[in-house]
Amino acid sequence: MSEENENTKTAFSLLKTFPNPTRENQLETAEFLHACSDAVQLFEKFGKAFASLIADMKQNIETLKEKYHENIVKNQYVERMILGEKKETGVRGMATEALLWLARELHFYSLFFKYATSNETEKEQPEEVSSLFRKAYAESLELHHGWLGTQLVQLLIENVPCNKDFFQMFKLDNNCYKKERVLHDMRQYNQELMACVSRLRGFYDEY
């Protein structure tokens, strides 16, 4: 990698990417949870606006980690782990609910990244980041939140940084800021995230 590319590396370059499904269309549990934990660290850069959402994500990840470590061989794959819990309990258990909400939360962020990258490259007058978050929220989490929760999230979204400050948050310390590099890395990262979310949503459709 050239010195210029090294000097413009972004926070996305430090993240564990989300796993691709195996030939059996399953996700490796350990890799998935590692990627989720890294993603939370990235989302924390967005500021206090999403503190409650991030706290919920952390709890869901911890619940899944606990289930995974009950039997790491048996629970090697996310889908197998969830189906095993259903077989054990006969109902939706804690891990099943945790993964369901984690998938919804990841869907929200993947939609935002999708809109953010297209907004900055395809529109002559880009929308503000807050508008893109509202759009992503309306198509994901809002469908599952109650009225009070929705009103709270909509209010908190108003506190996200403006476009200029938002994209600069992804540069690494002491590195040069290049918006084009941020958008490129965001788009690359989101390809794997969206594929993972699609797999999880499909799994729950069949569950």
**pLDDT tens readout for residues 156-200:** 888 888 888 899 999 887 778 888 899 999 999 999 999 999 999
Place of tokens 């090294």: 6
pLDDT band at 204 (very low <50, low <70, confident <90, very high): very high
Q: Say what the pLDDT of residue 178 is.
A: 86
Tell me the mean pLDDT in the region 132-153. Answer: 90
Q: Say what the pLDDT of residue 45 is.
A: 86
* Encoded tokens for 71: 């039997």
16 pLDDT exceeds 60? yes
- Residue spans per domain, the chain: 23-200
Q: Please, are residues 32 and 78 in contact by the beta-carbon 8 Å criterion? A: yes
* Encoded tokens for 194: 């969206």
pLDDT in tens, 30-67: 999 999 999 999 999 887 778 889 999 999 999 999 99
**Half-sphere exposure of residue 34: CA atoms within 13 angstroms, side-chain side:** 11
The three-state secondary structure class of 7 is helix
Q: How far is CA 97 from the centre of its chain?
A: 17
Q: Say what the pLDDT of residue 47 is.
A: 78
Q: Say what the pLDDT of residue 79 is.
A: 96
pLDDT in tens, 60-92: 999 999 999 999 999 999 999 999 999 988 888
CA nearest to 137, candidates 166, 108, 105 = 108
Q: Say what the pLDDT of residue 175 is.
A: 72
Residue type present at position 44: E
Domain 23-200, classified CATH 3.90.1150.10, yes or no: no
> 125 to each of 104, 128, 168, how far by Cα in Å?
30, 9, 19
Query: What one-character DSSP code corresponds to residue 141?
Result: G
Specify the pTM: 0.91
CA separation for the pair 38, 116 (Å, rounded):
20
4 pLDDT exceeds 80? no
Q: Please, are residues 32 and 204 in contact by the beta-carbon 8 Å criterion? A: no
207 pLDDT exceeds 90? no
CA nearest to 148, candidates 156, 159, 136 = 156
Residue type present at position 87: K
Tell me the mean pLDDT in the region 98-104. Answer: 98
Q: Say what the pLDDT of residue 172 is.
A: 85
Tell me the mean pLDDT in the region 13-27. Answer: 91
Helices 129-138 & 147-157, crossing angle to 10 degrees? 160
User: What is the rounded end-to-end Cα distance, in angstroms, of the chain?
Assistant: 44
**Half-sphere exposure of residue 1: CA atoms within 13 angstroms, side-chain side:** 8
Q: Say what the pLDDT of residue 1 is.
A: 47
If you average pLDDT over each of 21-25, 72-76, 125-129, which comes out highest?
72-76
Q: Please, are residues 82 and 95 in contact by the beta-carbon 8 Å criterion? A: yes
Tell me the mean pLDDT in the region 102-128. Answer: 87
20 pLDDT exceeds 80? yes
